[in-house]
Chain A
């Protein structure tokens, strides 16, 4: 229950006039009801960090990150650093992270590729120094799965 109390203190609300009026009635009394509010809306998003960078992710997205060497194609990763979970009118921001029991997002490794060939030419004038470097940056592509929100009865 610890995480529920801490999360409730951090519920951030934003929205248009109508939503403001409506939400005054529906201001959540607990973190579980806050999650239920967000869950009730049609689409949700998540701001999670992966490989040191933050991304705004939705289900079915294809995310490209620099190559993750410890991971094989087909592996499923659970995103452990979720900073924000939101929908059209409501957002829940973690302090600094949202606990993993509350919101779960899985990402499947789809492929390990390389980018297009980059040709880097280094030159110093009047010294006869010209160097050509050919480089292909390796990447890993991940498919984001659906966002699982903990139900009030599951806590």
Chain B
């Protein structure tokens, strides 16, 4: 077998060239990009949605300039608000028979979210991609060797 020389330059492994996501570390990019309101013109389940769209939508769009706000008329359908996020997912909330204050709460929920799937967060306190600063203890690198 011919002897293989090691490469002259250190090979660049492509995995180490990828970046670790850290939205908010230096710059924060809001994750919600579009809100679509669908309502019916005649049906009574949409009546408060229509009131909300007439009275509160403009202010919502003005206070959230990063969000694209779209209004669609969908007759013979229940009212809906759909939020689109930068990770490609969308969240749909039905506004059937909702009062104006309830609609405001649901819209705020969509604006606050990041679009990630709902997962159990009770145990997930810190999610870190950095190695620990103090390193991992080793029984061989200690003044007296650790005996099991």
List the interface of chain A (C-beta within 8 A of B): 16-17, 41, 43-45, 55-65, 73-74, 86-88, 108-117, 136-137, 139, 141-146
CB pair A61 B130 closer than 8 Å: yes
Place the interface of chain B in its size category: 20 to 34
Contact of B143 among A17, A58, A109, A137 (CB under 8 A): A17
Interface status of B127 (Cβ within 8 A of chain A)? yes
A117 neighbours in B (Cβ, 8 Å): 118
Bound: A73/B113 CA distance, A:
9
A73 to chain B, nearest CB (A): 5
Bound: A86/B126 CA distance, A:
18
CB pair A63 B126 closer than 8 Å: yes
A146 neighbours in B (Cβ, 8 Å): 25-26
B85 to chain A, nearest CB (A): 10
Residue among B23, B112, B131, B142 having the largest count of chain A Cβ atoms under 10 Å: B112
A44 neighbours in B (Cβ, 8 Å): 133
Contact of A143 among B23, B31, B124 (CB under 8 A): B23
A42 to chain B, nearest CB (A): 8
Contact of A110 among B23, B142, B143 (CB under 8 A): B23
CB pair A143 B134 closer than 8 Å: no
Encode B81-117 as 1/0 by CB contact (under 8 A) with A: 0000000000000000000000000000001111010
User: In the complex, which residue of chain B has the Cβ closest to the Cβ of A58?
Assistant: B130
CB pair B131 A145 closer than 8 Å: no
B125 neighbours in A (Cβ, 8 Å): 55, 63-65
Per the 8 Å Cβ criterion, residues 127-148 of B in contact with A are: 127-135, 141-143
The contact sample of 16 A-B pairs, CB cut-off 8 A, is A16-B141, A57-B126, A58-B133, A59-B25, A60-B128, A62-B128, A64-B124, A65-B125, A113-B113, A113-B121, A115-B121, A117-B118, A136-B118, A139-B121, A145-B24, A145-B25
